[in-house]
Amino acid sequence: MKSVPLVAWLRFTSSDRRGSLWAVLVLLVAALLATLVWLAGRYEISQVQGALERDTTDAVSDIRTALTRNVQGLQALHAVNPTPGSWIVDAAALLHEHREWVRLEWRDAGLAVIAHVETPYRVPTFDRLGRSNATPDVSLACATARKFNGPAYAGSYFVPQSDGLGIEVMELCLPLVTAGRLSGYVVATYSLQDMLAELIGKQYTRSQEVSFTEPDGTRLALHGAVRRGSRVFTAQQLLDLPGNTLVLRMDGWRGAPDLFPNVLTALVTAMSIALVSVLVLLARDMRRRLKAEHDLADALAFRKAMEDSLVTGLRARDLEGRITYVNPAFCEMLGFAAEELLGRSAPMPYWPPEMADEYQQRQAIRLAGNAPPREGFESVFMRKDGSRFPVLIIEAPLINVLGKQTGWMSAFLDISEQRRVEELSRASQDRLQATARLATVGEMASLLSHELNQPLAAIASYATGSLNLLQAVDGAPDPAPAHTVADLRMAMGRIAEQAERAGKVIKSVHDFVRRREQAREALPPQALLDAIMPLVSLQARKLQVRVVTQVDEGLPDVQCDRTMVEQVLLNLARNAMQAMDLPGLRERVLLFRVRRAASAEGNRWLEFAVADVGPGIPDEVARQLFTPFYTTKTEGMGLGLSLCRTVVEQHGGYMDFLPNQPQGTVFRFTLPATAPRRAR
């Protein structure tokens, strides 16, 4: 009697449990659908918000680009030295193109107004309160501009208008620098309202409301379509300007996502995805099984073909050190059959007996988990016939499908032939080095013959002059005059100096040919010119050439090889004087000029120039002027200018030439300065 209620209770409990499971399933499906609807709405909201944020970012980028172009336009006003009258005309034309500006001013270094222009599109902005009320903002912007050495903006402020309204404006100050000194400022007054209307693309303001706000949310200026919907989307982006920061806010209105269409879409989508997913999974499973069978057969055939074609020996070992796999190349390399190697552990039959202990220790280290070097290591193996040969071993962990290490895989390369080729290559390299040394000797001889010409000629000139003085003294009955003795002493000193210069030339040219770092020192530019001036003056007097030097004040020292740079200056001066050795040329002037290089890094380089007033260089000669062994002189070698450019480039500089005005040629080159002077 008691067993019947117990069975009924068990049946009821089982049925109730099954119903509970179905209820849970229904709840899960409902939760899934509700989640899909919610996610669809969230996705739509995120898409709208993301699009609005992208529009805000693009609008800020447009404003930055437009402000940069405006700064360039203001700089163009002072590209040439304008007068107040011409400036007003150009500024008025510029204001006509830019509605966002309400006023342009040209101020001197003391912020006094030199000239100003008002926008033609509205009444003068400062008529009601006067421009003096904005002086603190202008002073702040110009102080920031001086600090940044560039354009700077002041904070915005409200300007009441005569019609009872007002506008929010912002001051831009652009410093004007002439010859490294502050000469004045250009002050532009922006209308924030017009900035939104003119500097932002029209596509953003047709469907959104754009405004400038303070960090606390206070709106400064507003522009765009004013619409209303059930949901407001807002995006903000900082407009960081030098001296001021604005917040660009963009508001958009969209209707909230509808619930019913999303529910139907979610149901149909869920059922379609479920049915298609089942069919796709079944078809994919069948294809996967067939593909796996074919791939397995192909992999076995490919592995067999690869094993038979490889010339690299392969060997696999388990974690106990036993050989589990060898390929035919490994067996052929050692002379053992695969059956003789599989299952073997240390000591291996291909280990030389005298090295067995060393190999045993190395294998113990490897089996302990220490990875070998990636590039491999060399060893010596023994063939079955007892002969030894070197091998290169590359080992890597053997990882199974589960990512667990099951052993070690090794690759072996017979490097006997490589060792023989290396010996042949080493012998060939020695022969090539000997040939290169012979070529260097030839190059050194060419350089010495060209570079020693000037100092040796100077020594010969001074020696001839000394002999003439000595002959005059020998023929005189009285003791030699004091000035004659002084001339002899000077000549002998010059001979010693030029002999020392010849020695320096030999050493410098020798270092130059060997392409090694030369000894460089810090020298004043004037010292380089003073060192070559005696030789230059000697030839200048002969050719009736007037020598002029122009060295700017305050130049830093140059870091250079003194002897090689002096040779460059001498060669350029000699070429310039020879170019002016023409009949009918009235004034012959040789100009040496040293100044800072006119480049973006001019503070780090000095420019040396050698100018003449000769006939100039024809175009057909200019194209080949720096080509080695090209010359227009009957006795020239064609190496001078080529070597000069090489010396300058070794110092990191450049060398070129350009026409002199009104006639002649200017050769110029740059050398590095020791310590660039900081701008103050």
Q: How many CA atoms lie less than 13 Å away from 139 in the CB half-sphere?
A: 8
Q: Per-residue confidence at 149, pLDDT binned at 50, 70, 90?
A: confident
CATH fold for the domain made of 65-253? Beta-Lactamase (3.30.450)
Rounded alpha-carbon distances, angstroms, from residue 463 to 355, 449, 542: 78, 20, 17
Helix (H) or strand (E) holding 379: strand 377-382
* Confidence (pLDDT) at 175: 92
Give 416-458 as a DSSP string.
HHHHHHHHHHHHHHHHHHHHHHHHHHHHHHHHHHHHTHHHHHH
Q: Which residue has the higher pLDDT, 182 or 254?
A: 182
Question: Torsion angle, CA of 56/61/65/70, rounded to 10 degrees?
Answer: 40
Which stretches of 127-281 are assigned E, i.e. beta strand?
Answer: 152-153, 157-160, 166-178, 181-191, 208-213, 219-224, 231-241, 244-254
Question: Once rounded to an integer, what is the mean pLDDT over residues 171-194?
Answer: 89
Give pTM, 2 decimals.
Answer: 0.38
Question: Torsion angle, CA of 354/358/360/366, rounded to 10 degrees?
Answer: -150
Residue type, 283: A
Question: pLDDT tens across 595-625, in order?
Answer: 988 764 556 899 999 999 888 888 888 777 7
**CA 471 from centroid of its chain's CA atoms:** 69
Q: Write b or e for each residue in 591-609: b if 16 or more Cβ atoms lie within 10 A of its Cβ, otherwise e.
A: bbbbbbbeeeeebbbbbbb
* Confidence (pLDDT) at 445: 56
d(CA 359, CA 356) in angstroms, rounded, equals 5
d(CA 139, CA 133) in angstroms, rounded, equals 11
Question: pLDDT tens across 454-506, in order?
Answer: 677 777 777 777 777 677 666 555 565 666 667 777 777 777 777 777 776 66
Which stretches of 519-628 are assigned E, i.e. beta strand?
Answer: 521-523, 546-551, 558-560, 589-596, 605-611
- What is the residue extent of each domain of the chain? 65-253, 310-414, 424-516, 521-672
* Confidence (pLDDT) at 433: 45
Domain covering 310-414 in this structure, CATH number: 3.30.450.20
What are 548's strand-pairing partners?
Answer: 591
* Confidence (pLDDT) at 662: 85
Give 461-505 as a DSSP string.
HHHHHHHHHHHHHHH-SSPPPHHHHHHHHHHHHHHHHHHHHHHHH
Strongest mean pLDDT among 280-284, 337-341, 419-423, 669-673: 669-673
pLDDT above 50: residue 679: no
Q: What are phi and psi of 380, to 5 degrees?
A: -125, 125
CATH fold for the domain made of 521-672? Heat Shock Protein 90 (3.30.565)
Strongest mean pLDDT among 120-134, 220-234, 275-289, 549-563: 549-563
* Confidence (pLDDT) at 9: 47
229 in Cβ contact with 47 (< 8 Å): no
Q: Do domains 310-414 and 424-516 have the same CATH topology?
A: no
* Confidence (pLDDT) at 505: 63
Residue written as token pair 């003073």: 530
Residue written as token pair 């199974």: 400
188 in Cβ contact with 202 (< 8 Å): no
d(CA 671, CA 518) in angstroms, rounded, equals 15
Calculate Rg over the CA atoms of the chain: 45
pLDDT above 50: residue 574: yes
* Confidence (pLDDT) at 606: 92
Among 11-25, 154-168, 289-303, 493-507, which is the least confidently predicted range?
Answer: 11-25
Would you tell me which CATH number, out of the four given (1.10.287, 1.10.30, 1.10.10, 2.30.30), belongs to the domain 424-516? 1.10.287
Give 239-276 as a DSSP string.
EEETTEEEEEEEEEEEPPPPHHHHHHHHHHHHHHHHHH
* Confidence (pLDDT) at 430: 47
State the CB neighbour count (10 A cutoff) for residue 243.
21
472 in Cβ contact with 484 (< 8 Å): yes
Q: What letter would DSSP give residue 587?
A: -
* Confidence (pLDDT) at 353: 83
Q: ∠ CA 199-202-207 to the nearest 5 degrees? A: 125
pLDDT above 50: residue 3: no
Q: Which residue has the higher pLDDT, 655 or 303?
A: 655
Q: Which residue has the higher pLDDT, 514 or 236?
A: 236
Question: pLDDT tens across 188-225, in order?
Answer: 999 988 888 888 888 777 778 888 988 777 888 888 76
Q: How many CA atoms lie less than 13 Å away from 455 in the CB half-sphere?
A: 23
What are 187's strand-pairing partners?
Answer: 105, 173
Residue written as token pair 């072996």: 412
Q: What are phi and psi of 330, to 5 degrees?
A: -65, -40
Q: What is the percent of the chain with per-residue pLDDT over 70, rounded to a whole number?
A: 76
Question: pLDDT tens across 58-103, in order?
Answer: 888 989 999 999 999 888 888 888 898 889 998 899 898 888 899 9
Q: Which residue has the higher pLDDT, 408 or 7?
A: 408
Number of residues written out for the chain: 680
Residue written as token pair 């310039």: 576
Q: What are phi and psi of 547, to 5 degrees?
A: -100, 130
Rounded alpha-carbon distances, angstroms, from residue 389 to 209, 352, 382: 83, 10, 7
639 in Cβ contact with 628 (< 8 Å): yes
**CA 656 from centroid of its chain's CA atoms:** 26
Q: Which residue has the higher pLDDT, 549 or 541?
A: 549
Give 326-360 as a DSSP string.
E-HHHHHHHT--HHHHTT--SSPTTS-GGGHHHHH
